[in-house]
């Protein structure tokens, strides 16, 4: 009888102590963090690539790119996001702002993001990033 009671208590403890991972559904929050390019191509024809740095999406709508070789941030951009499109604004030395639009989709419980260029003639239209720590 004691054995059954102990087994039941162990079972009960393991079931209540397990915590499910919460998947962020707010895209504004889900994109925050550091991302490395993982694949590039034209969906579904994708190729793996080696990342030369990481892209950091910050809560203040700023994107920074950190170059591994130079060991420093090398670009500063602004972004804003809707339910299905992310807009990235790059300002050149002449103060002209180029806005690039991407359709995005989070994959693998928000651990990857697929971004497809919209309204842009590009050799590679699809980028897949993976989240890093």
pLDDT tens for residues 57-74?
Answer: 999 999 999 999 999 999
Tokens of 121: 């003639």
pTM of the model: 0.76
Class of domain 32-132: mainly beta
pLDDT interval class at 28 (50, 70, 90): confident
Tokens of 19: 């915590």
Question: Which range has the worst mean pLDDT, 39-43, 102-106, 119-123?
Answer: 119-123
| Contacts of range 43-49, beta carbons closer than 8 Å, 24 or more positions apart | 43/114, 43/116, 43/125, 43/126, 46/126, 46/128
* Spatial CB neighbours of 62, under 8 Å, sequence gap ≥ 6: 76, 77, 78, 79
| Chain mean position to CA 70 | 23
Which sequence spans correspond to the domains of the chain?
A: 32-132
């Amino acid at each position: 009888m004691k054995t059954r009671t102990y087994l039941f208590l162990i079972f009960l403890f393991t079931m209540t102590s397990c915590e499910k991972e919460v998947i962020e559904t707010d895209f504004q929050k889900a994109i925050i963090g550091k991302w490395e390019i993982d694949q590039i191509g034209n969906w579904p024809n994708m190729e793996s690539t080696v990342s030369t740095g990481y892209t950091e999406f910050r809560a203040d709508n700023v994107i920074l790119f950190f170059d591994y070789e130079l060991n420093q941030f090398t670009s500063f951009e602004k972004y804003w996001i809707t339910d299905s499109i992310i807009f990235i604004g790059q300002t050149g030395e002449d103060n002209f702002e180029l806005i690039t639009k991407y359709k995005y989709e989070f994959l693998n419980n928000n651990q990857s993001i697929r971004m497809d260029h919209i309204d842009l003639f590009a050799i590679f239209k699809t980028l897949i990033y993976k989240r890093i720590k």
